[in-house]
Chains A and B, each alone.
Chain A
């Protein structure tokens, strides 16, 4: 367990700036999630921490020591790859024990450790199989097991769940989190799925174009996004944005309202046409088009009695309006009550 600190870390690939002077502190024992759209640099940063790529400039401190020139294994980190990267020609047992074998640990120690980890991950019945004979979920666990065996300072996960089907993904999400909490090992987890980030993280780091947009606890980021990008990226369905006259009323360039804060109200001031209604059973999503032209989504638990092409009126929940200035930065909530709409 250790703290990982990045100071001014920069990485270029040719002309492309993948990481732009990143300053980041990854708390010890916590579960930190790097999230962002494709190409934002989150995977690059993970690989820089792992040591699979060289840092161009900046410092990478693990337990207070600058590891920028240290080889990956010597950093004491373990990685779970997106494609699992299991050794296809070795049995599960050999896969799990490989790192210890490379470190020339005695055979008995290797065997004991492998059994331990296999038991922890329910892999005992598969120890003598080859990866090709395993299901996706089983391979995933072997990949995690391989990392576990090394008793690393920190776990690094590179979108490990993206190759699994939805149900397995939900289940593994829970198991990975539970395992990490049980062992108390620092974890850095990369994903492009904001739902994964929200449900698993102690701390979320939102990336865009090689830069950190915001760092914070999931609910903090959800409730207080620092800018329009984060506001639109976190939360599904996406936050609704409105500009023009309504934004002027709120004294800003654009306002944002989450779907659950957009309510049908015959007395509401915002008019919109219903496009379509999605009934999910547990809730309904109403897709609308505002008179000012923006596409909106409203979310509610009731079965709303509306049909496509109906014209309805909407209001915003109190204190639920986010304001953004012309540079897309979040503006503080006004002191005056926001009962404009």
Chain B
């Protein structure tokens, strides 16, 4: 039709409109903005539960102390590494799987059920199943697989705890990436593909020049969404390594400072750093989704 904009422009709806959205906004402010402000405040104070008398504004001392502590930088680097490895593995494997499932497979319905399963498994279960049933170097299944090819069992959690955790988390997120990409692939017009085939394009070229660019946007969305959740990886670390230096991350550090060292000030500082970190990444996601609002 013509340039008639939204039909929902009834002025008498505006009053109730504001009322209806208020409770939701209230809850969100109470659960995010308000405590965040308190976190900021705490990060600038010396607040240790074991030393209740030493309270007071200390400016950026907590941050300085944190940045100098031997736990912090590994935590920060691990956070990034975790995110990077999970993203790469989940998206690469997800893409491969999506391409396979998009093809002429029999029983796609059943395959989808199999593939989506890890996504719905609660993190403690995933972590414990992987750590014990699969990765345990004495009786775990991977040890058995290694023995089949004559290799010694690999002690995953002793030798490569961060990688182990990354694999577990990547396993959980792979279905998400695979399904999003599969949906996007299936919406990719058959006609376009057939036209390319008629033009004599070999399958690999079609993949490279038509399909992958089409997938660029969903891949970006997957990256952004996974990242939001990956900053806060917690349960898997708690349940497998208890956050040793080799496998701690920012989220775990906040927990450790608060619950193990009772240093509220330091924990708040770490929490704030995590927030800033997340916000930078979030900026890009908001723009991408905001654009989809116009679409």
State the A residues within 8 Å of B (CB).
13-14, 16, 18, 38-40, 43-44, 47, 52-54, 82
Closest Cβ–Cβ distance, residue A68 to chain B (whole Å): 12
A83: nearest chain-B partner, CB-CB: B1
CB distance from A233 to the nearest CB of B (A): 16
Bound together, the chains give a CA A13 to CA B8 distance in angstroms of: 12
CA gap between A64 and B7 in the complex, in Å: 27
Additional pairs, 4, CB under 8 Å, beyond known A14-B5, A38-B1, A47-B7: A39-B2, A47-B4, A54-B9, A54-B11
Q: Which residues from chain A contact B10 at a C-beta distance below 8 Å?
A: 54
CA distance A53 to B3 in the complex (A): 14
Q: Is the CB of A38 within 8 A of B2?
A: yes
How many of chain B's residues have a CB under 8 angstroms from any CB in A? 9
Question: Does the CB pair A16–B3 fall under 8 Å?
Answer: yes
Determine if B4 and A43 form an interchain contact, defined as CB atoms under 8 angstroms apart: yes
B9–A53 touching, CB < 8 Å:
yes
6 tightest A-B CB contacts, nearest first: A39-B2, A38-B2, A39-B3, A13-B5, A54-B11, A43-B4
What total of A-B pairs shows CB separation below 8 Å? 24
A-B contact pairs, 23 of them (CB 8 A): A13-B3, A13-B4, A13-B5, A14-B5, A16-B3, A18-B4, A38-B1, A38-B2, A39-B2, A39-B3, A40-B2, A43-B1, A43-B2, A44-B4, A47-B4, A47-B7, A52-B7, A53-B7, A53-B9, A54-B9, A54-B10, A54-B11, A82-B1
CB distance from B71 to the nearest CB of A (A): 55
Nearest chain B CB to A228 CB, angstrom units: 22
Least CB distance from A156 to B in Å reads 15
Q: CA of A271 to CA of B267 in the docked complex: distance in angstroms?
A: 92
- Of all chain A residues, which has the CB nearest B6? A13
Closest to A40 in B: B2
What separation, in Å, do the CA atoms of A30 and B31 have in the docked complex? 62
Contacting residues of chain B (1-38) with chain A, CB-CB under 8 angstroms: 1-5, 7, 9-11
A51 to B, closest residue via Cβ = B10
Distance, CA A54 to CA B13, complexed state (A): 12
Smallest beta-carbon distance A261→chain B, Å: 33
Q: Which residues of B contact A52 (CB under 8 A)?
A: 7
Q: Mark B210-253, 1 if CB is under 8 A from A, else 0.
A: 00000000000000000000000000000000000000000000
Query: Chain B's nearest CB lies how many Å from the CB of A153?
Result: 22
Closest to A162 in B: B1
Q: In the complex the two chains form, what is the Cα distance from A43 to B11 in whole Å? A: 20
**CB-nearest residue of chain A relative to B11?**
A54
Please, which residues of chain A bring their CB within 8 A of the CB of B5? 13-14
The docked-state distance in angstroms from the alpha carbon of A206 to that of B9 is 27
Q: Which of B3, B4, B7 has the most CB of A within 10 A?
A: B4
By beta carbon, the residue of chain B nearest A44 is: B4
Q: How far in angstroms is the closest Cβ of chain A from B5? A: 5
| A14 to B10 Cα, complex, angstroms | 15
Contacts of B7 in A (CB 8 A): 47, 52-53
Residues on the B chain within 8 Å of A44, using CB: 4
CA distance A38 to B3 in the complex (A): 8
Query: For A40, what are the chain B residues with a Cβ–Cβ distance below 8 Å?
Result: 2
Contact residues in A for B2 (Cβ distance below 8 Å): 38-40, 43
Give the complex CA separation of A43 and B1 in angstroms: 9
CB distance from A313 to the nearest CB of B (A): 43
Q: In the bound complex, how far is the Cα of B9 from the Cα of A52, in angstroms?
A: 8
CA distance A53 to B9 in the complex (A): 7
* Bound-complex Cα distance A43 to B2 (A): 9
Name the residue on B nearest A39 (C-beta): B2
Name the distance in Å between A138's Cβ and chain B's nearest Cβ: 23
Residues of A within 8 A of B3 (CB): 13, 16, 39
A52 to B7 Cα, complex, angstroms:
8
Residues from chain B with Cβ under 8 Å of A47 in the complex: 4, 7
Bound Cα distance from A40 to B10, whole angstroms: 22
In the assembled complex, which residues on chain A have CB atoms less than 8 Å from the CB atom of B9? 53-54
Q: In the complex, which residue of chain A has the Cβ closest to the Cβ of B5?
A: A13
Most central of B1, B3, B5 by chain A CB within 10 Å: B1
Q: Which residues of A contact B11 (CB under 8 A)?
A: 54
- Using CB atoms, name the residue of chain B closest to A13: B5
A258 to B165, CA, bound (A): 81
